[in-house]
């Protein structure tokens, strides 16, 4: 029996990177997991790995900018797995990179729609049942970019991304206050890892600055990478009853351990 036995989780952006790692960790802790993302092949691959480990998982191809697809995600999850106990809002893009006057307002609309408003849609779909049952965990994925430039040193040219992450932190804190007496916890996690998205961010910055491209995941030995899985245990903690007394907080996995395989 795991910490999350008999729980049902929805993870958006679950096809790769941190979302995929979190989905695996939640499943290992006993949760049945619905994987949502736009790329079908990626979530199908992740679900196959989860099922091979003896855990329940479904895939629901979802564009989180479309309300109808978000509604389908939660309807299918309830029908096939049960009421949603845990929601991990992870879907995100880097968005426009460059000086403000060199970016398009439509790109700003797009990144807010994906990074922030998708969380509003998914939380709105999950909360009525959580409040009615008096239990639930919502974990929104933020970033250090929301309050400092240490995520990518001097990443001022990715102001749209940073602005969405700052908004997510406040959205999480305010939502937590709204449901504080209803048995529902809402927290925000700042993640740090080498992923395809972090590579895209650094390469985009190098292009607009005219500097040499930085090393990517493919250039670094695995021993030098911060793997997405190092963040995942924090999500299990926040999804479990151990964190019933924590809500409205922004937390980070800010000290990366050795690769987990080296501990085994």
Question: Catalytic residue positions?
Answer: 161
Distance of alpha carbon 117 from alpha carbon 113, whole angstroms: 5
Helix (H/G/I), strand (E/B), else coil: 225? coil
Residue of 220, 238, 258, 228 whose CA lies nearest to 13: 228
Q: Strands, DSSP E only, in the chain?
A: 8-12, 32-37, 57-61, 86-89, 136-142, 184-190, 250-252
Helices (H) and strands (E) in the chain, counts: 8, 7
H/E stretch holding 78 reads helix 67-80
Largest Cα–Cα distance of the chain, in whole Å?
A: 55
Q: Is 102 helix (H, G, I), strand (E, B) or coil?
A: helix
């Amino acid at each position: 029996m795991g910490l999350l036995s008999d729980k049902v989780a929805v993870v958006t952006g679950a096809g790769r990177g941190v979302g995929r790692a979190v989905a695996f960790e939640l499943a290992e802790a006993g949760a049945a997991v619905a994987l949502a993302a736009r790329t079908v092949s990626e979530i199908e691959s992740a679900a196959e790995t989860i099922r091979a480990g003896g855990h329940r998982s479904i895939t629901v191809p979802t564009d989180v900018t479309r309300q109808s697809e978000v509604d389908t995600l939660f309807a299918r999850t309830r029908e096939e797995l049960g009421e949603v106990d845990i929601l991990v809002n992870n879907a995100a893009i880097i968005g426009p990179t460059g000086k403000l006057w060199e970016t398009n307002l439509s790109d700003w609309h797009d990144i807010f729609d994906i990074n922030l408003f998708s969380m509003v849609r998914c939380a709105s779909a999950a909360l009525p049942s959580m409040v009615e049952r008096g239990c639930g965990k919502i974990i929104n994925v933020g970033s250090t970019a929301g309050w400092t430039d240490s995520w990518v040193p001097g990443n001022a040219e990715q102001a749209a991304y940073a602005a969405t992450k700052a908004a997510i932190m406040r959205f999480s804190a305010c939502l937590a206050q709204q449901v504080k007496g209803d048995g529902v916890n809402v927290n925000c996690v700042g993640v740090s890892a080498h992923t395809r998205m972090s590579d895209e961010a650094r390469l985009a910055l190098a292009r607009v600055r005219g500097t040499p491209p930085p090393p990517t995941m493919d250039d670094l030995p695995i021993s030098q990478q911060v793997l997405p899985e190092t963040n995942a245990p924090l999500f299990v903690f926040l999804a479990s009853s151990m964190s019933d007394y924590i809500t409205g907080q922004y937390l980070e996995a800010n000290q990366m351990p050795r690769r987990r395989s080296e501990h085994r």
